[in-house]
Amino acid sequence: MRVIKPVGRDAAVRKYDILSALTAHALASDAQSQRLVLRLTVLITARYNWQRDELITGQKEIARMWCVDERTVKRDMARLRAMGWVIVKRQGARGRVSVLGLDLDRIMIDTRPSWTNIGEDFVQRMTGPEIPSAADNVVPFRRLDMPNQGDGLWRRVCEHLQTEDAAIFDAWFRPMIETGQAEGVLSLTAPSRFHATYLRTHLLSRLQSALRRAEPGMVAVRIESP
């Protein structure tokens, strides 16, 4: 699956694709999930800054938009964070509203089962080559067993990544080696400088989403090169 970046040329089309995936997912879900996705969609269309990946809206304003009380807002935003769809970029303090962001990669992965309801053209557009330019310049890595990290955190992260997209996992995540954990940050070493740069540029959000799913207390990934 290609990484969706709703900026630059064709940004408008990408935004519509994301919203289409969200609404198709909602329509294929139960009533409670439909409500949650509809509420998120309203926030996206009304308040989300696509360029900066920022959603800065207080609970009182969200409650007014959703026609609910602030307690419901707090509960549903917590659900969206637990799903990995909404992330806290900067925690609010001293009366300031938290700066939130969207993990669009996570959203597209989770909504993928409903894409066929939109049409095969949409599926083909969304599942195009994820690494068209880099693939020709990288020597494929030999397929190995799951990284030998025992029952550690990196092994659990790898299990999430492999389940989501085995091809991307084999090419880019499998060769990574865990080098440590400190203050909520998982440190990984890539086999080359190019490999590390590509991961930071194109796949970091997917990696951090899998980390949060494996261990909610972790906050970031540090990618190093030899």
What digits encode the pLDDT tens for the residues 32-58? 999 999 999 999 999 999 988 999 999
pLDDT at 143: 43
Say if residue 134's pLDDT is above 80: no
Pick the closest to residue 87 from 204, 198, 167 (CA basis): 204
Please give the pLDDT value at position 31. Answer: 94
CA distances from 136 to 33, 131, 182, 213 (A): 41, 9, 36, 32
Task: For the full predicted model, state whether its pTM sits above 0.85.
Answer: no
Residue 93: how many other CB atoms lie within 10 Å: 8
Chain segment 199-209, per-residue pLDDT in tens: 888 888 888 88
Find where tokens 């970091």 sit. 204
**pLDDT band with cut points at 50, 70 and 90 for residue 135:** very low
Burial of 13 (0-12, 13-18, 19+ CB in 10 A): exposed
Q: Tell me the CA end-to-end span of the chain in Å, nearest whole number.
A: 28
